[in-house]
Structure 1
Amino acid sequence: MPLVRPPTQQSTSSSSVTAQTNGLPIFKPCPRSNFVAGHNDWLAVTSPKPFLDFDICPDCYNTSFHNTRYQACISPSPAKLENVGTKCDFSERWIRNAFAWLFIQCQPDLNLMGEVASIQRDEDGVCPNFNFEDPEVKKGGRPAVKRTWYCLQDPKTGTLVEELTACSDCVEHIKLIFPCLKSIFAPVADGQKLLATCDMMTIGDGEARCLEYFDSLASVAQATLETGTRDITPLIEYIKTWAPVPICQKGNAVAGQKRYSLPTTIPEFTACEECYLKHIAPNLAMSPPPIIVSQLQYDMPATGAGFMCDLFSPRLQQYWKDAALTNDVATYRQKLIARNNKMQEINLQLGRMKQEYQQLKMQSEMHIQQCRIEQMRATTANMAWMSTGWIGPPIDWGATNAQMSRGGEFAIKAAMTLDKMTALEKEWADYWE
């Protein structure tokens, strides 16, 4: 994407400021969330004061800052050293949370982002969920670590809301972004270091839930600023309602959790507890409730038995909405059966292609390795002639070139297979998932 250069300072009332300034900021996945070298199109916050060591990639700038009141705060960065990697600081979750809040509050500058970027951490360090070297984090999970933990404290009873546990790093970020919410968290066990996991910021399948927690915090902060009175009761109720509910695994097998199903009418249908509460339970308030809802059953599958949620995607949720509105159970079942059949078909194809890809890669690497051996043989033979003082025949690169050619052929076939796999995955995501 070509870099859209920030214009000179202008009034926030300018007609070039789009409707983005009237609502929520726009975010997209950052293409430079990991360190990369070789780019000289980085941007930096320079007004009203520069942020030290804070880099923004052009994609994030164009998505979130261009044509907003904050575009004049950002300028191109000086050129980076050629071999030094740089990552986009705007890809970090707490930075984006800070930007969302200052955007909603129509703050005049980006200083809050700079404060969050330079936050001083205590001896426990960064949130364990952002330790990307941890095997559990790599799987999208939450590692258990021994450190000081915090819970919300109910001001009415003085008790801790133990359904949600937050690390000191997340608590400090919340206090910095929402000063009006200071002291709503209290240390667990008088600050003793205990083994636990952080529920506030999670990557993977749990990220959506964490953003919902942040939205609840923001709602309480907004109400506090508007009324001058802090009431965290809605936040506590939200946490007590949702924190105990397992997070939807979004297409992955679920085991050991409550399962909702329609065994008599649509045996192909299963849903997790979170999706039941979000997408099915509201139907109970309809008058009369849809017939399909009255046929639901729930149970705990036997140990080792798993299921997949059929409500995790917008497409599946729309299937359910249509069935609930029309009571057309037969059509709903046909859609689920067709989707399940397609999933099995694509999984079989992907499994075969993956095996084929691995074999082609191995064959390519084998021929490339053999190419190096043949190259060494030819070079050694030539050096042997030279050591005698005689002029030997020209180096015979025939065997070397043959192995290189074969390695290239298999590499091309592997790349073509990988392209087919990508196309198949895209077909599933675009038309079936």
Structure 2
Amino acid sequence: MLRTIDLRATSLSPTALRDALPRPEIDVSVAAETAATLIDDVRTRGADALRDQAERLDGGAPDHVTATADELAAARAGLAPDVRDALERMIERVRAGSAAQVPPAAATTLAPGATVTQRWQPVERVGLYVPGGKAVYPSSVVMNVVAAQAAGVRSIAIASPPQRAFGGAVHPTVLGAAALLGVREVHAMGGAGAIGALAYGVESLGIERVDVITGPGNVYVAAAKRIVQSVVGIDMEAGPTEILVIADASADPDLVASDLVSQAEHDEMAASVLVTDDADLADRIAERVAARAAATRHADRVAIALAGPQSAIVLVDDLAAAAAVSNAYGPEHLEIQTADDEAVLADITNAGAIFLGAHSPVSLGDYLAGSNHVLPTGGQSAHAAGLGAHTFLRPQQIIRYDAPALAEVADAIVALSGAEDLPAHGEAVRARTT
């Protein structure tokens, strides 16, 4: 089911190593033309375009795009008690984790009377996308909303695809989660059209444009976010989910297998990768993966994901090589299950989130770890961070100099402005110091 890539006794350059690793056969650019057409349609026809797209591409046109206060209240009241309790626990933990990401203002005194203060200001309004394809994602509501609230964002809009089973409305569990968090603006719209509506606004529906769009989605959502990022900020272009597990002979084969299968159930493009220096362990894990994959509810979906080009067992010479493979891959989720997890962690540079030890599965991070589960995929962890309060914050510098402090640097400013042939810069200083 899982193919094997044997990198033992090889010496590959970083580029060659990246090329040797499993990846999904997906290209966001192929969806760009369709996404651009859908966005332009929403910009031109507004609500009519959203309804047409909902009927053709999602769960049917909703009676009304924006959920009413009564619908939100009913969805909140209708949450199953165990689900509501779990969501409230998740909210509490993610709120604590997100609050820790907000930096305090910091003032630097450079000389008497000369200070530069850095503060972090939230954006005014955000649009949060919650997917609704093969699964229901109230957890994504929590991850997106809590991070924005922790940053101090004042205006929050959620977009989620209409569901045919609920008359074209947003799934009630998604609505209920939004209501628990106090969100009053939830729209039944999905795909690239929803991204366009958030980026440019829809006047007839009272949807104002946002400053930042976050949240995962399919390839058309990713393409749409790429298109609109010239006018709004985005978190990342989220692709299929990924798990990479570094394991040695001390790891429990069944636990590792359970984690590889757990991520494969997301969709057929999900990537499950094992990196190990123990060929015998690899064989035992492969056996347990096959057994668990056959027994799980979404067996067909899991089988396709595990057999795809994005999933594999990678054999390496030692754990240092395993860390090098992981860094080259840059996984969304990295699990380390070894005899000395901290030693392996010391060699890790690129990962969206890192789960240490046998009792820290990715599923924990998906729900109740207190971390955020919206993470960079497709190797983006080499240059991008996961979603957090920082996603919605902008650092601003506040400069305050008194007259003596300005006079002390005036000659240097005049010299530099002359060197750059910008004499008026220096003259603006001289006007204050002579």
**Pair member with larger Rg:** 1
Does TM, normalized by the shorter one, top 0.5? no
Bucket of the pairwise TM-score, normalised by the shorter protein: under 0.3
TM-score by length of 2: 0.23
Higher normalized contact order (CA 8 Å, seq sep 6+, divided by chain length): 2
